[in-house]
Structure 1
Amino acid sequence: MLALKNCYAWPNIKTAFVILFLSTIYATTSGQKKNSSYQYDIRKATSAIKIDGVIDDRAWQDAAVAKDFFMVQPMDTSFAKTLTQVRMAYDEHNLYLLAECFQGVAGPNYVESLRNDWNFGKNDNFLMFMDPFDDQTNGFAFGTNAAGAQWDGMMYGGSAVDLNWDNKWKSAVKNYKDKWVLELAIPFKSIRYKKDISKWGINFSRLDLKTSEKSSWAPVPRQFPTASLAYSGILAWDQPPPSAGSNISLIPYALGATTKNHDNNSPSTYRKDVGVDAKIALTSSLNLDLTVNPDFSQVEVDRQVTNLDRFELFFPERRQFFLENGDLFANFGYASIRPFFSRRIGLGVPIRFGARISGKPDKNWRIGAMNMQTGGVDNTGLPAQNFTVASVQRRVFSRSNIGVIFINKESVNYHPGADPTKPTYSNYNRNIGLEYNLASSDNKITGKALVLKSFTPGTSGGDFVQAGNIQYSGRKMLVSWQHEYVGKNYNPEVGYVPRRGYVKINPSAGYFFFPKGGKILSHGPQLVYLSYFNTSLKKTDDEAFINYSFTTRKQSTFSTFLSYDYVELLQAFDPTNFTKDTLARGSTHRWNAWGTSFVSKPQSVFTYAFSSRYGGYYAKGTRLNLTADIGYRFQPYVSLALSTSYNNIDLPKPWNQHTFWLVGPRVDVTMTNKLFFTTFVQYNNQQNNINLNTRFQWRYKPASDIFFVYTDNYLPAPFSVRNRAMVLKWTYWWNL
C-alpha cells in the first residue's frame, strides 16, 4: 500500500533540492513587501498620556486613526463587519497605543481568564504585531483580552510567538456599552530596535468571538495567522525613535524550600537560596543576559502522557533564562532533529552561572552566544560541565536566511575511568551545523535545508545529518515534501535526536473546499505518507494516512482518518512500556486503524473535545485510544478543565490485556490580573503515580512576583505519599 521502492529514495531527495532551488529563485524575484502600501504615520504625543482606557488625552485627538480592518476569518474577501480603530503615539520613554474595539453584536465579551498569555482562540482580544527591523521575520507582540489580561511574546520564524518571553509594560482596558477600549504603554527599554530606523513593520489583529470574526488592519490571507509579518504594514515615524538610553535590569530572587522523600523514609531537607539575573542592553538591539545560581522552582511541571512510543519523548523548555531569542538556538533543525536542546543543561545537576548575548546588530544579521557552567554530582561521578552555543543568521533575499550553529559540551577537570565504580562520561561532544531557511515574500513557499556534523572522542564516519523540506501553502491547497538522513553515529549530547541511522521521506498534500453558504466553512482531504529506511536503504517503517476534516463557521472542527502502518523493530521493544516483556529485534508488524476527532466552538463557556483511535497494534494485537477534554469557565475568574486519556491494549501472551488511564483535572483561578492560583492533578497508572501541583502567584509589581508552590506525588494503591515539596520564592525586577 503506497509502497516506495528503495532505489527511488535518493533520486527523490535530489528532486527535492531542485524544487528548493527553483523556489529560491521565486523568492528572489518576488521580494517586494506585500502590504507596503498600508502605512500608519506615528507622531510624537502632543500631551501626556494616562493609561486608563479613557480617550480624553489631547494626544489621542491629534493622532492618526487606523481603521477599515479586513476580515481574515471566516473568509478573507471583504472588510470586517466589527469596527476597530487604532491610534498610536510616542514620547521620550514609551510607545503608546489605543484601540477602540466596537461591539458587532450586543452582549458580554468572551474572556477565558485574567491570567497573562491566555489562549488566543478563547478570548475576545486585540493584538499588535511589531517588526522593528522590518525584516518580516522577527519582532514583538503585545495586546490584551477584553478583560485586560496581558498577552506578550517575542516573534520569530515570520509568525510564531514565544509567550514565555516576559517584560515590563503597562495596559488598561475599560468596557463601555458599545465597545471596549485598550490603552497601553511599552517602554522603549523593553524592546529591541535600531534607533536610526524610521520604518517598522506593524499590524493589528482583532478577534471577536460573538461574530466569529478575526480581522486585521493590513490584509492577511485566511490560511495564515494574523501574526504573519510577511503581511504587516508600515509604521512610519515622523523622526527616528528615541534612544532607550541606559538599560540595565537586575532580577534577584530569594527562596526557602523543604522536600521529603517518603519512598526511602529519609528526613526532610531544607534549602535557602539566593541568586540573580541581569539584563544589560549593549545596544538598543543587542542584549546581554547573565545569571548566577539560577532557580526554576516556580516553573510548572511537565504534563504527563501515556508513553507507547519506541523513542524518547520531547518536553518543551519552560525556564525563563533560555527563552528570550531562544529560537536562535532551539529552532535549528526539525522537531525530531535538534542539535541543541536546552533541557540537557542542568537536568538533575546545579547550574552555577551562565551568560548569553543575543539580538540583531542590523537588519540583516542576528547573533546569539551562550555559555553555561554546571556543577558535578558526586554520587554518580558526573563531572562539572561547560556548555557553549553560538548561532549566527544572515538574511538573504526578502525573508530567507542562512544560519550557522556551533555547540560544545566540555567536561571540566575530568579523567574518564579514574573511578571504576562510577559511570564513564565523554570528555567533550561538539556539533556544527549549516541551515538555509526559505520564505517567499508572500509566505506561500517555505522550506529548509540543513547539514549537521558531530564530533565525539573515538567516533568517525556516519556522524552527520542532511535534511530538507519544501512547502506550498495556498488558500485551498497545501503540499509539502520532507526528507531526512541521520547517520548511525551522529551524536548530539546536548540535542534531541531520538532516532539515528535512518533515511526518511515524508510527502503530504491537502485540499480545502469553501461552500458559498451553510454551516460548513471549509472541508477537505489530506494525505500523508511517511517511510523510513536504514542507511543501506532497506525499508523499516511505513505509514500512510488519509484524513478528511470539516470546519464550521463557528470554528468547531471535526475530522476522521484511516491509516496503515508497517514497522520492523530495530531494537527489542515492550509494546506496553509497562510489563518489561519485549518483542524481538527484527520482527515485523502491520496494522490498519481508523479514528475521529472533534473540537467544539470556542465561543461557549462550556467547551469540549474528543478523539478516538481503534485498530491493530504490534504482534497482531489491537489498541483502542479515547481522549476527552472538557472545560467550563466562570469568566473571567475561574476556569475548570478535565483531560482524560484511555488506552486499551489487547495482545497475545505474555502481555495479554492492559488498560492505561491518564486523568488530569485542573482549576485555574484568577482573582485579579495580579493574583493567580492554579492547581492540577495527574493520575497516570502506567507510571503508577498521582501528581498534585499547586501554584500561587502574586505579581505585586510589573514582572516582579511572589510564588508559593506545593507538589505531591502519591502511590495510587495503597494510597500513600511518595514525596512532597514546598517552595516560597520572591523575585523583583529592578531597573537601574
Structure 2
Amino acid sequence: MPIRSAAMTILISCSLPALAAIEVPNHQSPIRIDGKLDEPAWATARQVELSIETRPGENTPAPVTTHAWLTADKDTLYVAFEALDPNPSAIRANLSDRDKAWGDDMVGIKLDTWNQGRLAYQFFINPYGVQQDSIENELTGEESDAWDGIWYSAGLQNDAGYVVEVALPLRMFNFDDSHQHQTWGIELVRFWPRDKTYRLSNTELDRNIACTLCQMSEMTGLDNLTASRQLQITPSLTLRRDEERAGPSQPWEQADKVDLGGDLRWNLTPDTLFNLTINPDFSQVEADAGQLDINTTFALFFPEKRPFYLDNADLFETYSTLIHTRNLAEPEFGTKLTGGRGDHSFALLQTRDEETNFLLPGNLSSDIAGLDRRSDNLALRYRYNHSDQLSIGAISTGRHSDDYHNYTFGVDGRYDFNSQTYAELLLVGSDTRYPDDLADQTEGEQATRSRQTDLNGYHWVAEIQHDSRNWDGFALYRYIDDEFRADLGFVENTDWGKGVAGGGYTWYPQQGFFHKIRLGGDVDETRNNAGERLEQESEFRLSGEGQYQSYLALWGVSRERRGRREREEDLAIEGNAPMFDETFAGLDIEFTPRGDLALELHLTYGDDIDFANNQLGTRTQINPYFKWQPLPQLVVELDHLWRELEVDGGTLFTANLSDLRLSWQFNVRNFLRLTAIYRDIERDPGLYQFDEVDPNTRILSTELLYGYKLNPQTVFYAGYADGRFNDGFDDNLEQLDRSVFAKFSYAWLL
C-alpha cells in the first residue's frame, strides 16, 4: 500500500493479542512527525490491533482494520495509526481549531499514568492531524477538554484510508518515578462515523462494570524513561484599546492598555508541577456562548477557559463546585502546585485578585456580588486512594479582604462496594464575614440574607449509585445550612435540602434503527431548613441512540414549585411564596444526515412560573441548531433559541437569542473566526404588575478574531469587537462600545 514502507512489513509480525499487556520498546534514532512512518524506529515498534467494536456493538469484531504502533525514547512516547477504510471517500475530516473536530473520523490514545483507574489523559487526532485532548475523571464521571497539552501530531490521507503519527512528550504527564518499572493504563481507540458512530478499541469493555478506566490494558517497557524536569516560560504581551459612550450623541471615551505578563510551568519532579503567573492577561479570545437571563431567579454559570486555571484543574474537583475560578476576575499574580506520589494527590492554588466577586446564594434565587477591593484567595485539595475500593480526601478554600472573609474546610470519600455500586460522601463547613454595607448593594433575598454579617454553616452530600449493563439507579441527599457559603465556588443554594432517587433500564437492540434505548426517571423533594417544602418533582425520559449519529429523547416533568416571595424581607416560605403546579414536556432530536451537516432541535412546551408577576403561564420554547461544513476549511454554526411566555391577558414576553459563528481554518495553525450574538426581547409593559420594563431590548455583540497557534501556549491573536444596543423604544441599534486587541505569547521550553 502507498503508506507502507519496507519497515512496515516487518511490523506486522510484532502484533499483540488485544488483551495482552503492551510492552513498548525503546529506540535511539530520531522520529520526524510527518505522518509518513518511514523512520527505522518504527521497524521495531510494538504493533497492536484495534480489533474490537465496543460501541454500538458489544465487544464484537471491528468492521474495519486499524493498526497501531508504539515506541519510546528517554523523553517521548510515540504512537502511530494506520486506519484502513473500504471507502476512503466517505472519511469525515475537516480542518479546524484544537478541540473542535469531534464528529470527524479520528484515532486516539488514553493513558492512565498512575494505573489506578481514576484519571486518564486523552489524545485524539483526525486525518488532518487536528488535535483533541482532555482529562477523563472516573470519580466525577466527567471529561474536560479545557486542558491543553503541548504535543505533536500529523495526519495523511491516501487511497486506503489515513495515517496518523503522534509524539507525546513525557513532560506533560504526572507519574510516580519511584517505581523502577513503569506500568501505565492504556487504551487505543478509533472512531468511525458512518451509518452509526463505531467505537473501536484494542481492549474489551464490560458494560456490567461501572468504571471504564479500570478496564484499560496495561503498558510496560517504560523502565528506562525519565520525566523531564523541563522549565516552560511563556512571556506575553497584550495590547488593547477600548472605547465606549453613554449614548449615540455622546462623545467616545477611550482607554488604552498595554500588559506585559508571563507564565512559568516547572516540573519539579515527575509527579509535581509548579505554575506561576504574573500580571496575567485573562481576556477571553473565545466569546462565551450566549445565554438568556429572562424569567430566571438564579445566576448564570459560565465555564472556565483560562489556561493557568485549567492546568491540572481536575485535581481540585469535588462533588459540589467548591472551587470555580471564574470568580477570580483580575488577578495580579497566581501560583499553583499540583501533583502526587503513590496513592496521594494534592493541589494548591493561590491568587491575589484586584476585584472580589462571589455568589450570594438563596433557596429561591441567587445573584453575583462584587466588592471593589483586593482579596487574597487560596484553595487546597488532598486525596488519598487507600485501596481500589476506598478513597478519601480533604478540601479547604479561603478568601480574605479588609472587612471580608470566607473560609471553608471539608472532607470527602468514595467507597466502591463492587464493580457496579459505589457511595460518595462530602461534608464541608464554612466561616464567613460579610462587609457591613453588603446588604445595601444587593436586593431581594440576597439583601435579606446579607444583613447577617457573621456566618458559620455546613453542607453535606451523600449518594449511592449502581450502574450495570441494563439497570442503573441512585439515591442522593444534599443539605446546605442557611449560613453556609462557598464564595470561591459556585454553590447557588443555601437554607436548602434536596432528596432525589431515580434509575432506569437500558436495551441494546441488535437490529432496527436504534442500537441503544433507555427508559428512566426520578422523583425528588426540596425543603428549607425549617422543613417548608420548596419543590416536589417527578420526571421521566425515554431516549434512543441510532443511525446517522442520531439521538432522540421524549421527556416530561410534573412538579410543585414555589414562586418568588411576596415579602422579600421575610425569609419564610409558607404564606409568603405561593406554590404552583407545573407540567411540561419536551422533545430532543439530534442527527447527522451526512458528514458535513449536523442538526439538532429541542422543543419544550407547558407550564412555567412568571416570576415577575408570581403567576402561572405557558412556555413555548424552540431551540434549533445546525453545524455545516461545506468545505474542509469552513465551519458555519448557528444556535437559535426562541422562547415565549403566555399569561392571562396575552403574551408577557417573546425572547430570541441567536449565536452565529463562522470559522475559516487556513491550516491546522491559522484561523479566522466571526462571532455574532444577537438578543431580542419583546415585552408587554401592561402585563407587568410590579416592575417597569422596556417594551423592547436588543443587543448585538460581534467579534472578528484571527488566531495563530503553534501550540496552546505559543499563540498570536488579533481582533475587533463591538456592542450595539437599542434604548428600549427606538428600533435602531446604536454602537456604544468597541475595542481592538492583540495578544502574543511564546512558550520557551528550557
Of the three residues 671, 674, 683, the one matched with 1:679 is 674
1:283 aligns with 2:269: yes
CA contact 2:135–2:314 (8 Å) conserved in 1 = no
Of the three residues 357, 361, 371, the one matched with 2:350 is 371
1:730 aligns with 2:706: no
Q: Which residue of 1 aligns with 2:303?
A: 316
CA distance in 2, matches of 1:296, 1:492: 23
Of the three residues 288, 294, 300, the one matched with 2:286 is 300
Q: Which residue of 2 aligns with 1:643?
A: 639
- Which range is displaced more, 701-710 or 453-462? 453-462
Greater fraction strand: 2
Q: 1:661 and 1:51, CA in 2 relative to 1: closer, same or farther beyond 3 A?
A: same
- Which range is displaced more, 384-393 or 588-597? 588-597
1:241 aligns with 2:228: no
Q: Which residue of 2 aligns with 1:434?
A: 411
> 1:356 offset after TM fit, Å?
0.5
Q: Which residue of 2 aligns with 1:163?
A: 145
Aligned length: 666
1:142 aligns with 2:123: yes
Q: Which residue of 1 aligns with 2:547?
A: 553
CA distance in 1, matches of 2:276, 2:565: 43
TM-score, scaled to structure 1:
0.86
**Deviation sequence 1:124-148 (CA, Å, 0-9, x none):** 0011011111111123222311221
> 1:46 offset after TM fit, Å?
5.5
Question: Secondary structure of the equivalent of 1:452?
Answer: strand
Q: Which residue of 1 aligns with 2:714?
A: 704
> 1:459 offset after TM fit, Å?
6.4
**Deviation sequence 1:142-182 (CA, Å, 0-9, x none):** 23112210112334335643222223221111112112111
CA distance in 2, matches of 1:311, 1:90: 51
Q: 1:202 and 1:572, CA in 2 relative to 1: closer, same or farther beyond 3 A?
A: farther
CA distance in 2, matches of 1:688, 1:439: 52
> 1:494 offset after TM fit, Å?
1.6
**Deviation sequence 1:638-670 (CA, Å, 0-9, x none):** 1111111111101236x8521111111111211
Give, as a single letter, the amino acid of the residue that structure 2 aligns with 1:216. Answer: S
> 1:609 offset after TM fit, Å?
0.7
CA distance in 2, matches of 1:53, 1:702: 21
Q: Which runs of 5+ in 2 are unaligned?
A: 1-16, 357-369, 434-451, 569-573, 610-614, 682-696
CA contact 1:42–1:89 (8 Å) conserved in 2 = yes
**Deviation sequence 1:177-234 (CA, Å, 0-9, x none):** 1121111112222322233441111111100113631111111246999x93212110
Instruction: Please list, as runs of the form range in 1=range in 2, the aligned pairs for 1:52-71 lying within 5 A after superposition.
Output: 52-71=34-53
- For the aligned residues, what is the CA RMSD? 2.5
Question: Secondary structure of the equivalent of 2:42?
Answer: helix
CA distance in 2, matches of 1:521, 1:182: 30
Question: Secondary structure of the equivalent of 1:600?
Answer: strand
Of the three residues 194, 201, 207, the one matched with 1:216 is 201
Instruction: Please list, as runs of the form range in 1=range in 2, the aligned pairs for 1:395-414 lying within 5 A after superposition.
Output: 395-398=385-388, 400-411=390-401, 414=402
Q: 1:484 and 1:160, CA in 2 relative to 1: closer, same or farther beyond 3 A?
A: closer
Of the three residues 559, 583, 591, the one matched with 2:582 is 591
1:127 aligns with 2:108: yes
CA distance in 2, matches of 1:126, 1:223: 25
Question: Secondary structure of the equivalent of 1:65?
Answer: strand
Of the three residues 136, 153, 168, the one matched with 2:134 is 153
CA distance in 2, matches of 1:243, 1:719: 56
> 1:77 offset after TM fit, Å?
3.5
> 1:41 offset after TM fit, Å?
0.6
> 1:113 offset after TM fit, Å?
3.3
CA distance in 1, matches of 2:264, 2:222: 33
CA contact 2:129–2:154 (8 Å) conserved in 1 = yes
Of the three residues 55, 69, 75, the one matched with 1:87 is 69
- Which range is displaced more, 216-225 or 205-214? 216-225
1:689 aligns with 2:699: yes
Of the three residues 308, 320, 335, the one matched with 1:355 is 335
CA distance in 2, matches of 1:135, 1:447: 18
> 1:104 offset after TM fit, Å?
4.3
CA contact 2:59–2:204 (8 Å) conserved in 1 = no
Q: Which residue of 2 aligns with 1:31?
A: none
Higher relative contact order (CA 8 A, sep 6+): 1
Q: 1:155 and 1:514, CA in 2 relative to 1: closer, same or farther beyond 3 A?
A: closer
Of the three residues 209, 212, 216, the one matched with 1:228 is 212
Give, as a single letter, the amino acid of the residue that structure 2 aligns with 1:451. Answer: L
Identity %: 18
> 1:602 offset after TM fit, Å?
6.8
CA contact 2:677–2:702 (8 Å) conserved in 1 = yes
CA contact 2:497–2:529 (8 Å) conserved in 1 = yes
Question: Secondary structure of the equivalent of 1:316?
Answer: coil
> 1:243 offset after TM fit, Å?
3.7
CA contact 1:153–1:165 (8 Å) conserved in 2 = yes
**Deviation sequence 1:509-556 (CA, Å, 0-9, x none):** 111223331222122321122221111223220121112112213330
**Deviation sequence 1:615-639 (CA, Å, 0-9, x none):** 1122232111111001210242111
**Deviation sequence 1:453-482 (CA, Å, 0-9, x none):** 110237677711111222222222221222
Give, as a single letter, the amino acid of the residue that structure 1 aligns with 2:394. Answer: V
CA distance in 1, matches of 2:257, 2:455: 47
CA distance in 2, matches of 1:124, 1:302: 27
Q: 1:409 and 1:702, CA in 2 relative to 1: closer, same or farther beyond 3 A?
A: closer
Q: 1:680 and 1:607, CA in 2 relative to 1: closer, same or farther beyond 3 A?
A: same
Of the three residues 591, 597, 602, the one matched with 1:611 is 602
> 1:278 offset after TM fit, Å?
0.3
Question: Secondary structure of the equivalent of 1:51?
Answer: coil
Q: 1:263 and 1:223, CA in 2 relative to 1: closer, same or farther beyond 3 A?
A: farther
- Which range is displaced more, 483-492 or 209-218? 209-218
**Deviation sequence 1:61-108 (CA, Å, 0-9, x none):** 212211152111111141211111111111123211111111144423
CA distance in 2, matches of 1:631, 1:584: 49
- Which range is displaced more, 155-164 or 725-734? 155-164
CA distance in 1, matches of 2:482, 2:49: 57
Q: Which residue of 1 aligns with 2:498?
A: 504
Question: Secondary structure of the equivalent of 2:336?
Answer: strand
Question: Secondary structure of the equivalent of 2:383?
Answer: strand
CA distance in 1, matches of 2:46, 2:75: 20
- Which range is displaced more, 188-197 or 75-84? 188-197
Q: 1:724 and 1:483, CA in 2 relative to 1: closer, same or farther beyond 3 A?
A: same
Of the three residues 293, 315, 325, the one matched with 1:328 is 315
Give, as a single letter, the amino acid of the residue that structure 2 aligns with 1:82. Answer: V
**Deviation sequence 1:657-709 (CA, Å, 0-9, x none):** 21111111111211100101222211112463111122211124674111013
CA distance in 1, matches of 2:131, 2:623: 31
> 1:56 offset after TM fit, Å?
2.1
Of the three residues 624, 629, 642, the one matched with 1:628 is 624
